[in-house]
Structure 1
Amino acid sequence: MKALALTTALLVSGGALAADYNVDPAHSAVLFEVGHLGVSTTPGRFNEFEGSFSLDEGNKSGKVEFTIQADSVDTNHEARDKHLRSPDFLDVKQFPTLTFKSTAFDGKSLTGDLTLHGVTKSVTFDVEKVGEGKDPWGGYRAGFEASTTIKRSDFGVSYFIPGVTDETEIEVFIEGIRQ
């Protein structure tokens, strides 16, 4: 229902020259959390996504593009996931993807356009670089963590507020493989 995120989020630094990376979904994750009835937090994730990013550390600049398959929402509860895919929440038949495209990056914050439920809004992620280096297969990888909080009602998803909180925390863990 919310997630998104995002994804994205990742660009925090890189090589001295611009470098392009493809997201490695086997070593990446898009997670979200919402409150439930004021007594607990329900976590979830999206299992299918793809993206790319580029970095230019010298200019502290970069860009990200990320697409999430909305029907891949997974909260480890089949009936809830089915409801999240319905028109009450993600409406995956009408809005099959969530997307993020960056507009600015300053080395610590990544701002971009998040499209969720057919609505596009500017969102800013706090970004932290985890690391980068050669992998055992002759490639080069870089990893980032990013987080933000959105209001799902800003994206037209207001079903059962406040039973399910409006504020949705999003965390994105990305490992990219340099191309």
Structure 2
Amino acid sequence: MPLPKIVSTVALTVLVAASLSVAAQTDQKPAEDASAVSQYKNLNLTRDPKAAAVGNYTLDPHHTSVTAKLAHMDLSRYTLRFDSVSGGFSYDPSSATASKLSITIDPNSVSTGDPKFDKRIAQKYFESDKYSSITFTATTVKLVGEHTVVDGVLDFHGVKKPVKLSVVYRGFAQPRMGFSGEATFKRSEFGVGEWVPLEADEVTILVETEFVKS
């Protein structure tokens, strides 16, 4: 075989081998992705409240979001997020009830994407220097299927009033329980009535959260 053909054949063989090697590497999932797939398959997620483990649960701040939504000039329903949230509860699967439920929010952690506006909301409207926390407490929560209503007390801006939290139970996957919640109230009833009705009086609170067994 002439030398040019030999060189050409060798070069083609090397190129094909390199291409196959790249394709094989592309088909292989990174270690983290492979671990995620394996963990997901072994979650054993259940939505039966009585299948969850008994004990105390602590809110996971990395998998929790609390946002407040209200209308601005009836043009948009803009949102405020609170970045510092803590809480927990005790759970008894034999009766599918949670007790000692308490959630605490730092009003200074309000976030709109504009730090100057955040500071104004916290200090002018929430008066965070005077009222350093927002809390929601409920003595007992009964889980009936996926949907339940939690009756509790909202302590906001120095005013305590009953508020109903509509909750969707997302399930239990050792050692976690997950929930979505929604509540609506009028902010003026808590002494935060500035700019009503230009900025809506009615506020909707949206909660997505996970609790981890202590």
Report whether the alignment pairs 1:69 with 2:109: no
* CA gap 1:30/1:16 in 2 versus in 1, 3 angstroms: closer
* Corresponding position of 1:80: 117
Q: In the aligned structure 2, how far is the partner of 1:111 from the partner of 1:55?
A: 16
* Corresponding position of 1:19: 55
* Corresponding position of 1:114: 154
Deviation at 1:166, TM superposition (A): 0.5
* CA gap 1:16/1:77 in 2 versus in 1, 3 angstroms: closer
What secondary structure, in the 3-state scheme, does the structure 2 residue paired with 1:157 have? coil
* Corresponding position of 1:53: 89
* Corresponding position of 1:9: none
Deviation at 1:17, TM superposition (A): 6.4
* Corresponding position of 2:8: none
Q: TM-score, normalised by structure 2?
A: 0.71
Does the Cα contact within 8 Å between 2:68 and 2:206 map onto a contact in 1?
yes
Q: In the aligned structure 1, how far is the partner of 2:160 from the partner of 2:50?
A: 28
**Residue of 27, 44, 51 corresponding to 2:80:** 44
Structure 2 gap segments, 5+ residues each: 1-47
Deviation at 1:154, TM superposition (A): 1.0
What secondary structure, in the 3-state scheme, does the structure 2 residue paired with 1:126 have? strand
What secondary structure, in the 3-state scheme, does the structure 1 residue paired with 2:94 have? helix
Structure 1 gap segments, 5+ residues each: 1-11, 135-139
Does the Cα contact within 8 Å between 1:46 and 1:74 map onto a contact in 2?
yes
Deviation at 1:15, TM superposition (A): 4.2
* Corresponding position of 2:201: 166
What secondary structure, in the 3-state scheme, does the structure 2 residue paired with 1:103 have? strand
Does the Cα contact within 8 Å between 1:100 and 1:114 map onto a contact in 2?
yes
- Greater fraction of residues in strand: 1
**Residue of 111, 121, 124 corresponding to 2:164:** 124
Q: In the aligned structure 2, how far is the partner of 1:106 from the partner of 1:142?
A: 14
Q: In the aligned structure 2, how far is the partner of 1:160 from the partner of 1:79?
A: 18
Of structures 1 and 2, the one scoring higher in RCO (CA 8 A, sep 6+) is 1
**Residue of 129, 150, 155 corresponding to 2:190:** 155
What secondary structure, in the 3-state scheme, does the structure 2 residue paired with 1:159 have? coil
Number of aligned positions between the proteins? 162
- Greater fraction of residues in helix: 2
Deviation at 1:124, TM superposition (A): 0.8
In terms of Rg, which structure is larger? 2
Identity value in percent: 30
